[in-house]
Every structure is written in structure tokens, then in C-alpha cells.
Structure 1
Amino acid sequence: MVDFTRPSARRPLGALLAGVWGYGCQCDWRVPSAIAARAFASGAVAFGLSVAGSASAQTTPARGSRAAPGRPVVKAGQSKGLETVVVTANRRSQDIQKVPGMVTAISAETMARQHMDSAADVAAFAPNALGYNFDGRLRPRYYIRGVGNGNVANNAVGAVALYADDVYLNSLAFQGFPLFDQAQVAVLNGPQGTLWGKNATAGAIQFTSLRPTFRNDGHAQVDFGDYGQKRGELVLNTPVVKNKLSTRLSVRYEDSDGWARNVQSRKNVGNFGDFATRFQTLWRPNEKVEFLLNLHIRDMQGTNVPYYSAPGISVFSPLKIGSRDWTNTNVNGRQALVSEGASFHTIWHPGAGLTFTSITAFENAQRRQSGDGDYTPQEYSRSYDKLHPTQVSQEFRLASDIHKRISWIAGAYYFHENLHDNYATVTLPPGAATTPAIIGQPAYAATNYTQTTDSFALFANTTIHVTHWFQIAGGVRWTHDHLHLDLESQQALAPVSFSANPANWWNAGSVLSSLTGIDGYHGGRSWSNVSYEVEPQFLLDKNQMLYVRIADGYRSGLFNTQVTPNPVNRGGAPLQKAAAVNPETLSSYEGGYKGSWFDKHLTLSADGFYSKYDNIQVSWTATDAATKSTIISLTNAASGISYGGEFAFQARPLEDLTVSGNVGVLRTKFTDFTAPSGATNLTGNEFARAPHQTANISVDYHYRTPIGDGSIGTHWNYTGHYFYLVSNETASALQQSAVWLGDVHASFRPGNSRWELSGIVSNIAGNRYLVQVLPYSATSQTFTYQYSAPRMFLLSARVDFF
């Protein structure tokens, strides 16, 4: 967990969002209540998460303080330089500038000022990082240093590990949660998990909620914006027994009309309502032990995000202008996600400087989605998916006194997941004209599978202070994963007919034709891995450090569950069957510098890295020439490399002015990769979604007036050109050109009032870029893609209760 020294500055922009808005999206498609968003409390990004400072780090004002919003806090007797950002790496509190590696620490103040509303937003503040809300908030994707989750299947294992309050969240259904009442977020670049949580090859993102405190606290906030945006949040912190028992209730609701309409139905596309709540109880019976219980639920309902046909390409789209305001499909898709979860965190100090930590967590979700499978006004295809993941995890750690010359930490981790998925595709009568004709005729295919995962790990780490200027840390981790898959896939034989009114066409009972099995997989695979990490650190003086980091990364193997039926030879062998995919590993070599200058008015971080990957898990897309079917499969590329550098700074040239930024430079290449279909040699190609450059710049100024104080600022993010597919296709619809995205934000608090007004204009330049691209469909003759959000504004009012 990344924490910040508690300043006394007043929050800007209604820090930590609040208020409650009437619940209810204009959607009537519901699923049983359950789902998740976050987990657990207290936190700490362990040493294995190799954190480090970034220019995006911001201090967090003390709750309820009346200092000017957005103004960094200076403690009495200190220079008015930058505040020390403290991280509990290895579960030890350390200045982020003294920990090797690269991390971007995003404070509660920054999240409030930027009005961040979803987990994927944080990637815009880190070097060499990308984050997207693919399919809205149902399936977010994260990439760090060119590696991420390119697998569109529901059983995907991300190369970027996501943690909410110290709990690893595996399924995509858990990862798109709304941001509210957060203490901070840490984006950690490079392989993670040598000590803590699950392994990851690309990096990790750690979300940490604000915990209960032993004082009365709370706030409410409401937001309004264009495109029907409405948000509300309410936070109540209530001490029950002085200095022993306290609770914290956090509630958030968001509603939006979306920014597009369907030219066929004239209805809104992308509208949604998202409700989430978290209730925490902190019990500290004595100074040696504390318990934290975290209960949370989420319910999101809406229509699918808008997809578009590439302008001038689709023979069916009358728009031809790349309009973001209109879509053109014969089906308005719907989506629903509900979840529930709980975590229990125990910290015990038995004596002799030892600290014992236990984290027990449970998450459960249900997600349903149906929509247009071809994204045209023709009846080529409809899609349906119902996902139900459940996970249980347990972590134990025992750590020694950090102040000893030799300190250590050791622990064990267990993770279990049961994931059930049912997906189907259909062509309803009368179908559509195609060549050969059978492809466009009524059809039905469905796949049903259950995957169970059991993962065990043992880890240990030690830090040795050799001299006053040199120390070395090292860790090792053993991991064992076992996955079992039970899958059945079936297809209707031609000619296909349905019941008179197939409202639930995805149910096999709606199909009147004979069904035959086309694929089945029943079996398990096991993999084991030993990974290590070594970090020599050279302390040039109390404010300057050089470091080297050598680390292994590991991503578990899994199953490719994307069965592709043959639309011509119905009932015959599918174009793609279920199969096991091997684990991904890497060896990473990093070196860097951390330091502060001019009495802490300037901090600098620089990191250079070289990584060698083996068995890279990549998503391969191809078109079957005979059937015109698009095949998307998860496979292993034999090897690849990535290398580059990252630089971050934060400066305070004036007492009321803070400037921060970072730059990422990246090069990637497959050194051995033959694609599974057509034996296509992709050696030498770049990784997908691996821009050569990224950059961030933030400027924030605190102002004072006779009637009140406030802040004004701007943030800009640059992403260089990248390809969407590992085939590096150069069609304009399959690559993204370089783009700048920026916002302007401001806040004002009258006098010593508890009220605050704030606002933001996001994507102020109105730039348009692609979030997701589907390859060319020979059947519907289209490229299909998802746009980013347009220019939007949001106005907010907040009141602190105490």
C-alpha cells in the first residue's frame, strides 16, 4: 500500500467525492444481486511489489481540515518543499524515493481533483501504462511496458495484477469497479509478486480504501454533467468505542445517458447506472492487535457501449463519417453486473519486533451481457454471455523488526477460484445474404464450461544493511498452480429453426433443430515455478540512491476456452477447439536513480529496464478463408523482448505551484513467434498496445481571495502510436495514431466553510481515439471499433459534516 503523510491542507474539488443520488438506471434487465468491487483494508504494497516514486505522487490532506483545497501541506519547522510520500513496501514504512523500482502513487486528492470514476482511469498517470474500459466497466484491460491482457476470454489471467485493499482480484468481472472513498492508488511497473499476493509479469495496480478512524468524519457530494451524468456519494465515519471500535460507511451511485444513439432504434447506447457500497469495521482491542472487516456490494445495469463501423468501409453503415453520436445496429445490447465480497484483516504484534498479518477474502459475481454480434443493421449474428466467478483467498505473513541490521519477511498464499461461463451465438430468421449462403442462414452454437483454479505459494525475503552506504535485498517465491476444465460445446444442425418467439434465444430450449456436440474438454493441468528477486542499493547520501533490480516474473498457464464453430459444416469439427496454454515467464533487469534536490523542492526518479519473455501469452486473430469466420485464439509466442526507460519528476518552484510529470520510452519485439493458423511468421513484430512513448504533465496552482481559497490546474496525457493486433496490420482501423488527452479542473471553498464547489472539463480538446478494435469481418464486410469518450464536463458540490 502506498500511504501519504497526513497534511493539514483542505481538500480540493470536493476530495473523495460524496453524496447520494437516487438509484436506478433506465434499464430493466436485472440479474440477482451480488458482485464486487473492492476488498480489504489496511494495506501495503509488499517488497515484492517493488515500488518507487513518481511525479504523479500527491499528498493527501487531513480529513476535515480547513486549509486551502489542493494546497500541499507543510509541517511546522519544515521547508515548504514537497511532502514526503511514504510507502509500506515490504510492510515497512519508507520514503518512496528510497525504494528501488518505479511506481506512480496517486493520492485521494488527485483522484478527487480529476473526478476519477473507474479503476482503469489511473493508468493515464503512469509511464508506459495503458488502461481501457473495454465493454464499459465489464472488462477493463491494463497494459504496463507493452504487456497486458489481450485475451478476450472470460477466464483470462492478466499480466497486470490488480489488488483492492490487499486482495488480489483475478476475474475481469471484479476489476472494473468505481472509485470512491480511496486513500491512494499505486501503479507498479515491472514483474511483481515475488513476495506478496499473486505473481505478475507486467506489473501491479494496488487500490487502497480509506479505513475507519477514531473520530467523527463524513461528507456528501453530488455531481452533474452533460450526457445526463449524475453522481452522488455519502461517507460516514462513526467511532463506537473510543480508540477501540469504529465503522465507516461509503456509498456511491453514478448514472449516465451515454453519448450515442442507435440510428435504427433511436434509443440511447451506453447508458448505465452503477451503485456500490462498502462498510468497514475496525476493532483494536489493545495496542498489539487489530481487526478490520470489509463488506462490499455492487450493482451495475446498462446497455452495451457503442461500437461503430469504420467510416467508408462498411457497406451497411449509411453514416460514413466516423460519427461518435450514432451507431447502426439491429440489436441494442444489454449488460448487468452484480457482486458481493468480504475480507477480514488481522494484524498482531506478538513481541520481539515481530508482526503477524492474516488476510482472508471472498468475492462473488454474476455478469450477463447480450448484444449484436456483427455490429451492423443486418441479422448476421447475436451474442450472449453469462459469467459467474467466485474466489477465496488466504494470506499469512510474519515480519521481523525493520530497524534490525538484518530484517526479513516470510509467508504463504492460497487462492481458489470457481468460474462458470455460458456463451452462445445465434443467427435468427430470416438471416442475411452471404456467400456461401449457408453462412447467413439461421444458426445456433453454445459453449458451457467450468474452470477451477487452485494456487499455492510460499515466499521469503530479507534485507541486509551491509554498510551505511550499501544494502542488499533478496527474495524467493515458490508457486504451484492447478487448473481443471470441464467444457462442452454444441451446434445446431442445418436447417435451424426456433420457437415462435425466441425471446431467450440463448437457451438451447428455444432451438427446435437437433443439437450435436462439437467439442469437449475434461481434464486438468498443473504448473510450478520458482521466482526470485535481488536488489543491491547504493546510498550516495541521505537524499540520493542508485539501485539495480534483477527479478523473475510468472503468469499462470490457463485454457483457451474460445471454441469457434464451423458455420458451413455444421456439426463438424470446429475451427478452433479448447486447449491448454503454457505459463508466461520473464527475466527482468533494471537499474535506476532516486533523489531529491533543493531542499525537497524537486524529486527525480529514473529507471531503465530490459526484459526477456518466454512463452508469451498472446491473442491471435485470423480469418478462415473458407468460411469467412474470425478466429480469436489464445496462444504462446515462443519468446520476445522489451526494453526502455521511465523518468518522473515532481517540483514546487513556488509555494502554491506544483508541477509533475513522467515520460516512458518503450520498444518491444517478438524474437520467435509463429502464429497457430497459416504458420504465419510474426518474428520481429511489435507487441500489441505497446506505444513507443507515453508522457504525463500536471500543473496545479492554489489561489487565495478575500472570500475564499481554491485551486486550478490541468493534466495532459500523451500516448504514442501503437498496433491493436500482434500481426501489426497497417489498416487505419487496426492501429492508433499518437494522441494527447487533457483536462482542466478548478475548485473553490468560501472562507472557512465546509462547502466546496468544483468542476472539470475532460478531453478538453475533443480528441477521438480508439479503445477497442475488432478485425475485418469478411462476412459483414466491416471493421468494428469502440471510441473513447468525447469532451465532457462535470460540476460538483460537496459538504463536510464535521
Structure 2
Amino acid sequence: MSKSTVAKSSLLFGAAIGALFCSAGAFAQDAAASSAQQGEEAPLGDIVVTAERRPESLQKVPLSVAVVSGDALRSYQTGGDDILSLAGRVPGLYAETTTGRIFPRFYIRGLGNIDFYLGASQPVSIIQDDVVLEHVVLKSNPVFDVAQTEVLRGPQGSLFGRNTTAGIIKFDTIKPTQEFEGRGQFSYGSYNTVTADAGVGGPIVKDLLAFRVSALYQHRDNWVDNTFTGTSADGTVSPKKDAMGGFDERDIRLQLLFTPGDRFSVNVSAHARDYRGTSTLFHRAALKKGSNDVSAEPRDKVAFDEAMNNPQAYKTYGESVRAAYDFGGVVLTSISAYETTSGFSRGDTDGGAAVNFRDTNSGQSQGNVRKLDQFTQEVRLASDGDSRFKWQIGGMYFDSRDITEFYQRTYFLNTADYNPNNWVRLHDVNTSWAAFGQVSYEILPSLTITAGGRVTEDKKTTQLLKTADKPNGAVTYGGRRFVELKDTQPSWDVSALYQINPDVSVYARIARGFRGPTIQGRSAVFNSDFTTANSETILSWEAGFKSNLFNNRLRLNATAFTYTVNDIQLNGNDANGSSVLFNADKAKAYGLEAEADWHPTSNLSLGLGLSLLHSEIKDKRVYAQVCALNKVVVCTVQNPTVTAPVFGTPTVFAKIDGQPLPNAPEYTVNFNGRYDVPLGNGGKAFISTDWNLQGYTNFVLYKTKEFYSNGTFEGGLKIGYSAPGGAYEVALFGRNITNEKNLKGVIENYMAAVFNEPRVIGISVSGKFR
């Protein structure tokens, strides 16, 4: 798609949405007037966020923040979905995985990381209860008993966790209170899909000690058949009905809140996770050369000759202590946390039996996190109260150490090709310290200026503890066995918020972010040297407005942005299909995000979100290796190409200058609505729905006729009864109700497809007490 086409499409689409908002606004004004005559109260309450580490109204925070309530998130996850369910529900946020539920990858405003390496760094940070989760496995920690989710778009270098160039997804769970209360939700659906999410708590010693216990259980039966009928070289059982696709998720969290006085509080939290499931299923040759059509490929059947039907399993444990002391106008906060995980994920990486394709190449691999230890310590001193001048200063230390192993195909064979030495062990260490601060001053009653800064040192080392050797133990690896990278950089942001009137504000923000250098060590399993990437930096500009209109019945917020990432870290593939790190000169992007929440009557609520994005990689010198199998290019490359030797083999590379960032949708639209019918007993019958639509999304660094999606959509529906006061709810639900089969990712050299989840229809029951 050309720049002019994108620009015209964006303008037309923006105009259409603008017209819709204006029409909605006019209708809302009439509805509001009618409701006011009938004495109805305005239904839109204030949303309180902690995007700047202090409770504030969403409408008064000078940056782009999207909020998803805990109830909405649980509704999306009734069909067994995990953290990826946020994708398509928040403008500007995209998420995907090619390694199953234990390795989600997030993108905000087009910035993310397609690397599947277990040690990969990502420009989107996950924060749970003020604790940064940096390792890719920790980012998959399930979210349950959640109060609220906030998505902070753009660089977030001043206040949260570690530096991030793209943004933050922040989850806040329900905390212990001094009143006994509880909530729970249970759902059952297709494929024997079960989700139970619950929490209960209250005082142990009144006004001194309170608790909350939260738990999550999710299950799905295997539903994908393995149809391979030949001989397996590693003992994989096939053909087998219902061999893959299921999972079991068991999670628990205990919180204790100590309040020995009005000034001092300590929240101690501990959690555990036990997960077993199926890694991502690749459908080999689902994509045909010259076509993007995958309609002929069955989603519930594969033909895997190896990898034992793609098992994966992880156990994770963590603890945190959050202590706060109010000195009177100044609050000192300390957050100490420890996270650990271990597990494995195994997969048939060629996505099908080679013999079925008259090919001699087969592929499988397994990644193990033998042990991970992440320790974080943050200390923050902040002003308290509603004075015109607010400030906070602090420091953070981050320490992550893991032992990671990668096993390749011949390690698993029971044939003459068996090689017990075909695996590597790596030791990764990442340490970082930072000092940060922020000030905010209300210059005028209607104008507030905020500025923040941080200096960060980020250090990474990777040591190769074991090489991938020949069966007789002969060592053939000739690359580096130890790499250390370190960088110290400033991050900062400045913003201004001007309140035009009590209902409308405008703001502007400029921010600089930083992502430290990165090391890719997995390639050593192929006897290839480590690859590395230097630090990337981003300069981002945004401006927008926030409004509550028509007697607080329409909340309409919008932001326009542009950014430049210098020395952007990208990932390509080498001749072995292993990820290769490199820096491109820069990437540029601009776009728009808009969200509307409209309650035209007390019984009808509507939500609409839109994101528009244009991104480009800018580097005339950088080329990416293209899809090739047995030295033959198997896809239709539409960029200029060159041929250069790799390991002595002529290899085709495509020019990527001008290409969009991978997994960066040109537009997304999300819609939700609910209509209530009041009943005589004070309860309600209701119907609710949510939909998302995704525009052109390229999955790789170069342009092809195969490796993209465009115009994909997915929807959910819920019909039920809510008891008086919302004490309980019973409903029928459907997720992906039209059973769309959407392309979510690809394996290039095998023309393999990754699909979204199938339709799940079921029943849900939820309730609360206090």
C-alpha cells in the first residue's frame, strides 16, 4: 500500500469516525436533555488512574491512557483467553504469540519485538501491582481478581519500572479491605473450557490486619487432531485424535495488609502459578505462494511427525512487600519484589511432517528456563495532598539472572541421527539502576506543567556455558562465549495540561525513552556467533484533548502523535531460521487514537475506539533475509532483493527501507455496547457485545503477497440476567461468535500459518458480596 493510499484511507476513515462522533454527540445532547427532564442522573463516573504514581482523574492526566475495568477484562476471558485478550480492545495496543501462552509479545503504537528468544527484550513493559515483570515468561503471568488495567502509550521513562520506548501495560489487583467482601466468576463452554476467577478477603484484626485470597483456574480439553500416519523419528504418537490445543492454568495469590496506625501500611503479597498446555501450532503450507488465503486449512488438524504433540509447562512464584509511611505531606514508599520461574516449551517448528511435502528437512526445538531469579527494589519519596506543587523522587534497582537451554532436533531422535550433545546452555544477567524524579506545578488554575527525568544504567551479559557439539563430543563452535554490553542514558518528559472549562481539557507532551543494548545467544545452538544490538532511543510528541460532554453522558478523548526511534532494534532470520539482532538507522511513525464512551440513556451504553498508524523503517543500507527452503525462495517478495553468501550459501535478502514495522496494524476499530431491560423485581435482563476490526498488518520486515493480514475481525456476545444491585449475574456468552479464522503469525520458510482461537460458546455465572 502506497503512502498516498494510506494517507487517503486514514483521512477518509478519520472523517467517517469524526462524523460518527459528531452524530453521536448530537444524539447524546438530545438524549441528555430528555433524560434530564425525566430526572435521570448522568451515568458516567470519574475514572481514577495511577498513571503518574498517584491517584488522579483520567481526564486530568497529561498523557494518553486507556483503561479497561476488571469486569470488562473478565468478560473477554470467559472463553479461556489469557492476557492476549487485551489486543483489539485498546486502541494502539496489539499482542500476539508464536510460543504459546507462556510468551506473549506486546506492541504499542507499532513498537514491539517479534523475537521469540527466551532472553528477548521488549519495548513494552508489564507492571503488576507496581512490580515490573521483565522476562518474557513473567510477562505471561495470568491476571486475575483485577480491579483495573491501564495502558500508558508512548515512552514511559520517568516513573515506572525500567525504561520503555513503547509504553506500559499496568495491572492493579483488588486489594485487602477492612470489610469482608468477595467476588467470583465461573464460566463453562465449548471444548470443556472452564474459567474460575475469584477473590475473597476482609479483616483479621479490625483496623490492623486484613487479607485477600485470589485464585484462577482455567482448563480446556485438547481439540486439535494430529493426522500424521507415518513413522516418527522421536516416538511421537500419531495419528491421535484431540492431541493438542488444551491447557490447565492454576494460580493463587495471598495478600496481607498491615495498618498499625493511620500513617503506616505494609502490603505483603505472594503468588504461585502452575501451567501446562500446548505451544503454538504451526500449520505448514497453509499459505500458498502468491496468495494470502488460508480458508482451506483446517484449524483443528495438523500433521506433526515430531515434538511429542507440542507440550509446554511452567511454574512461577513471586513475593512482594509494599510499605508506605506518611510523614505528613510527604510519603515514603518502598517496593521490594522477587520473581522466579522454570519450565519448558517444545514444538514442531516446521509445522508438519516433512515426508508429506517431499522434503528431507524436519524441525523441532525446545527451550528451557532452568532457573530465573528477578529481584527489584524501588524507593520513592513523594508529596501528598492537593497543593499546586507536587513532586516525587526515587531510585530503582533491577537484577535478573537466568539459566536458559535450547535443544535442537537430533537431541530427541531415537534413530541413528541421535545427538545427545545438540543443545546449549546460556547464563544471562541483566542489572540496571536508575534515579528518577518528577515535578508538577499548577501555574494557573487552568494550566499545569509537568516534567520528569531519569538516568539509567543498563548492563547485560550472556555467557555460553555449554556448546552444541558433535555426537562424539567434538566441539565445532568458534564464536564468542561471553558478551557484555552496557549503556547509561537519560530519559525525560515534559507535558502541559490546559483546562478550557470544567468539561474539556487539552494537553501536549514530549518524551524521550531508552531501551538498553540486547544480546541474542540462542544462535549458538547452530554453532553461530551471538548477535547483538546497540541501545535504541525514541523522541515522541503527542497532543490531544479529553472531554466529558452532554451532562457527563459522553466521554470523548483523542490523541495525535508522532515519534522517531533512532538505532531501532530489529530481528531477522539467519539460514537456520534463528533470530538475528541488528540495528536499523531509525523508524518513524505518526498516528491517532480516539476513544468514546457514550451513555445516551440509563439503559444503553456504547463504546468506540479507533487507532490509525503509519510507520516506516528508514535505512537504505539494511536488508533482511527472505523466506527460503532448500535454497529456494518460497514466497512472493515484493521488495528489491540482493543475493549474498551466508555460511557459503547464496542467500536472498530484501531491502526493508520504507517498510512498516512488523505487527503494526494500520488501523484498529473496537466497539462495545450493552442494553439493559429493567425488570419488576429490580433486576435487569441485558445483552452486550464487543467487536474489533484490524487493518493491514505485516508480519515480517519485508513485503510479500502472503505474510500479512487485512480486515480481520472478531466479536463477542453475552445475554443474561443481573440480579438487583448486581449481586449476581447469569449469562450465555460467545467468544469469536462468527468463528473467524484469522491469520495471527507466520513461519516464513515453511509457509506456515498461526491462527486465532476458535469459537467458544457457554454459560457464565458471577456474583459478589459485601
1:380 has 2:362 as partner: yes
1:86, distance to aligned residue in structure 2 (A): 1.2
Task: Give the equivalent residue in structure 2 for 1:91.
Answer: 53
Which residue in the other structure is 2:511 paired with?
551
Task: Return the offset for 1:174.
Answer: 0.9
Query: Structure 2 vs 1, CA of residues 78 and 703 (structure 1 numbering), >3 Å: closer, same or farther?
Result: closer
Q: What SS does the aligned partner of 1:227 have?
A: helix
**Aligned residue type for 2:387:** K
1:111 to 64, 67, 73: 73
Q: Identify, as 1 or 2, the structure richer in helix.
A: 2
Q: 1:416 touches 1:455 (CA, 8 Å); kept in 2?
A: yes
TM-score, normalization: structure 2?
Answer: 0.84
1:167-316 to 2 correspondences below 5 Å: 167-264=131-228, 265=238, 266-267=240-241, 268-311=243-286, 313=288
Q: 2:755 aligns with which of 758, 781, 787?
A: 787
Question: Structure 2: which amino acid aligns with 1:554?
Answer: F
Corresponding residue for residue 628 of structure 2: none
Say whether the 8 Å CA contact 1:490–1:519 is kept in structure 2.
no
Q: Distance in 2 between matches of 1:292 and 1:704?
A: 41
Deviation (angstroms), 1:250: 0.9
Give the one of 645, 653, 665 matched to 2:600.
Answer: 653
* Structure 2 match to 1:347: 324
Given residue 564 of structure 2, which amino acid in structure 1 is its aligned partner? K
* Contact 1:214 1:238 survives alignment (8 Å): yes
Partner of 1:702: 676
Secondary structure of 1:563 counterpart: helix
Measure, in 2, the Cα distance between the counterparts of 1:796 and 1:408: 45
Q: 1:591 aligns with which of 539, 543, 550?
A: 543
Worse overlay, 274-283 or 469-478: 469-478
Q: Deviations over 1:271-290 (max 9, x none)?
A: 11110000000111111011
Q: Deviation at 1:112?
A: 3.0
How far is 1:402 from its partner? 4.3
The aligned amino acid for 2:319 is: A
Q: Is the 8 A contact 1:215 1:239 kept in 2?
A: yes
Offset of 1:91 from its aligned partner?
3.0
Mark the CA change 1:443 to 1:252 in structure 2 (over 3 Å): closer, same or farther: closer
Q: Which residue of 2 aligns with 1:579?
A: 531
2:420, 2:374 → 1: CA distance? Answer: 35
Give the 3-state SS of the residue equivalent to 2:660 in structure 1.
coil
Please tell me whether the aligned partners of residues 390 and 417 of structure 1 are also in contact (alpha carbons under 8 angstroms): yes
Conserved? CA contact 2:187–2:765, under 8 Å: yes
Task: State the one-letter code of the partner of 1:262.
Answer: N
Residue 642 in structure 1 maps to residue 606 in structure 2: no
> Shift in Å at residue 194 of structure 1?
1.5
Deviates more, 1:275-284 or 1:631-640: 631-640
User: Which residue identity lines up with residue 364 of structure 2 in the other structure?
Assistant: R
Q: Encode CA deviations 1:690-725: one digit per residue, 9 max, x unaligned.
A: 111111111112222235424321111111111111
Deviation at 1:295, TM superposition (A): 0.3
Q: How many Å separate the matches in 2 of 1:234 and 1:724?
A: 37
Kept in 1: contact 2:62–2:496 (CA 8 A): no
Q: For each residue in 1:491-529, what CA deviation from the matched residue of structure 2 results, as whole angstroms up to 9, or x when unmatched?
A: 444xxxxxxxxxxxxxxxxx4564543434224221000
With over 3 angstroms needed to count, the CA separation of the structure-2 counterparts of 1:696 and 1:385, relative to structure 1, is: same
- What is the alpha-carbon distance in structure 1 between the residues aligned to residue 765 and residue 677 of structure 2? 19
Shift of 1:102: 1.5
**Native 8 Å contact 2:408 2:525 kept in 1:** no
Give 2:759's aligned amino acid. Answer: R
Return the alpha-carbon distance in structure 2 between the equivalents of residues 236 and 154 of structure 1.
35
Q: How do 1:758-769 residues align onto structure 2 when only pairs under 5 Å count?
A: 758-769=731-742
Question: For the Cα contact (< 8 Å) 1:635–1:676, is it kept in 2?
Answer: no
Single out whichever of 101-110 and 607-616 deviates more from structure 2.
101-110
Per-residue deviation, 1:686: 1.1
Q: Secondary structure at the match of 1:137?
A: helix
| 1:675 counterpart = 2:623 | yes
Secondary structure of the equivalent of 2:250?
strand
Cα 1:368–1:107, aligned 2, differ >3 Å: closer, same or farther? same
Q: Indicate how the Cα distance of structure 1 residues 324 and 345 shifts in structure 2: closer, same or farther if over 3 A, else same.
A: same
Residues 184-221 of structure 1 show CA distances to partners (whole Å, capped at 9, x for unaligned) of 10111111132222111111100110001111112444
The 3 A distance-change label for structure 1 pair 513 and 289 is: closer
In structure 2, what is the Cα distance between the partners aligned to 1:121 and 1:243? Answer: 38
**Equivalent of residue 607 in structure 1, options 559, 580, 589:** 559
Partner SS, residue 294 of structure 1: strand
Take 1:256 and 1:199, find their aligned partners in 2: how far apart are those partners?
37
Q: Deviations over 1:402-451 (max 9, x none)?
A: 4222221111011000021110112379899xxxxx9x997963221111
Deviations 1:274-326 (A, max 9, x none): 10000000111111011000100000012333221133759xxxx99311010
* Correspondence for 2:89 among 106, 125, 128: 125
Give the 3 Å change call, closer, same or farther, for CA 676–577 of structure 1 in structure 2: farther
Structure 1 position 234, deviation (Å): 4.0
The answer on 1:101 being equivalent to 2:63 is: yes
- Name which of structure 1's ranges 251-260 and 656-665 shifts more when overlaid on structure 2: 251-260
Moved more, 705-714 or 586-595: 705-714
Instruction: Tell me, in whole angstroms, the C-alpha distance in 2 between the residues paired with 1:444 and 1:325.
Output: 35
Contact kept? 2:746, 2:753, Cα under 8 Å: yes
For 2:344, the aligned partner's letter is R
Distance 2:474 2:51 in 1: 59
Partner of 1:79: 41
CA gap 1:518/1:321 in 2 versus in 1, 3 angstroms? farther
Q: Note if contact 1:114-1:760 (Cα within 8 Å) is conserved in structure 2.
A: no
CA distance in 1, matches of 2:665, 2:321: 40
Q: Distance in 2 between matches of 1:445 and 1:727?
A: 32
CA distance in 2, matches of 1:324, 1:350: 60
1:409 aligns to 2:383 (yes or no): no
1:401 shift after superposition: 3.2
1:418 paired to 2:401: yes
Q: How many residues align?
A: 680
User: CA shift at 1:604, angstroms?
Assistant: 1.2
Moved more, 675-684 or 739-748: 675-684
Query: 1:744 aligns to what?
Result: 717
TM-score by length of structure 1 reads 0.81
Q: Structure 1 residue 154 and structure 2 residue 118: aligned?
A: yes
Q: Deviations over 1:315-353 (max 9, x none)?
A: xxxx993110101111212110101000000111012x1
1-structure distance, mates of 2:414, 2:287: 24
Q: Which sections of structure 1, spanning at least 5 residues, go unmatched? A: 1-54, 56-73, 433-437, 494-510, 567-573, 777-781
- Higher relative contact order, chain-length normalized (CA < 8 Å, sep 6+): 1
